[in-house]
Structure 1
Amino acid sequence: MSSPKKVKVSKQRQMTIPKEFFDALHIQEEVTVELVEEGLLIKPVHKLPDDFAEQILESLVAKGFSGQELVEKFKEATQSTGWTTFRAMNQNDTI
């Protein structure tokens, strides 16, 4: 882990994320900001590949799911994408 960095906050409430943090987190176009007990938690939002739903379905079919069970597992997967994997187009597409 890196040591904390002090950054200025503008009158418009804007601040700059230090480059080493930005690069380490592979930040793209958006972040989420959450108020937590000790301050702000800033997390990158990673875009999913355009064919992500198709990849989930292929993965579920390969695991032997079909019919209503496939539909239920697909709903589950799209609610919580962390339990499945997908083929990333490049390293920055991973979650």
Structure 2
Amino acid sequence: MDTPKKIKVSKQRQMTIPKEFFDALQMQDEVTVELVEGGILIKPIHKLPDGFVEQILQSLVEKGFSGQELVEKFKEATQSVGWTTFRATDEENTI
């Protein structure tokens, strides 16, 4: 996957992300696009499943987090890369 791919840009400024990149990043229906030095950075947006936000909050509250610490732990839990495949190996690491 480290090999750059040459893709066409349509007259409407559209391009197709190669399937192997799309699959490797587990892309869904939205991305963020950022102008960076020398190019464009495209990142997938991973949406949380319905009800998952409430489960995260409930779990963090049960672990004793509150106030600003709860906010920070919640941000951590929802912004972590790979949250969709998170599997704890022990109770201590479970959200």
Structure-1-length-normalised TM-score: 0.70
Structure 2: runs of 5 or more not aligned: 87-95
The answer on 1:13 being equivalent to 2:13 is yes
Following superposition, the deviation at residue 94 of structure 1 comes to 4.2
Aligned to 1:84: 77
C-alpha distance after superposition, 1:5-38 (max 9, x if no partner): 0000000000010111011111110111100012
Following superposition, the deviation at residue 47 of structure 1 comes to 0.6
The answer on 1:93 being equivalent to 2:84 is yes
Following superposition, the deviation at residue 2 of structure 1 comes to 2.4
**Conservation of the 8 A alpha-carbon contact between 1:26 and 1:92:** no
**CA–CA separation in structure 2 for the residues paired with 1:53 and 1:25:** 22
Listed as ranges, the matches of 1:22-41 within 5 Å are 22-41=22-41
**CA–CA separation in structure 2 for the residues paired with 1:33 and 1:39:** 10
Structure 1: runs of 5 or more not aligned: 86-90
**CA–CA separation in structure 2 for the residues paired with 1:11 and 1:77:** 44
Aligned partner letter, 2:77: T
**CA–CA separation in structure 2 for the residues paired with 1:73 and 1:92:** 19
- Secondary structure class of the residue paired with 1:84: helix
Aligned to 1:49: 49
- Secondary structure class of the residue paired with 2:21: helix
User: With CA pairs under 8 Å and 6+ residues apart, which has the higher RCO, 1 or 2?
Assistant: 1
Taking a change above 3 Å as real, the CA distance of residues 52 and 92 of structure 1, as seen in their structure-2 partners, is: closer
**CA–CA separation in structure 2 for the residues paired with 1:55 and 1:73:** 17
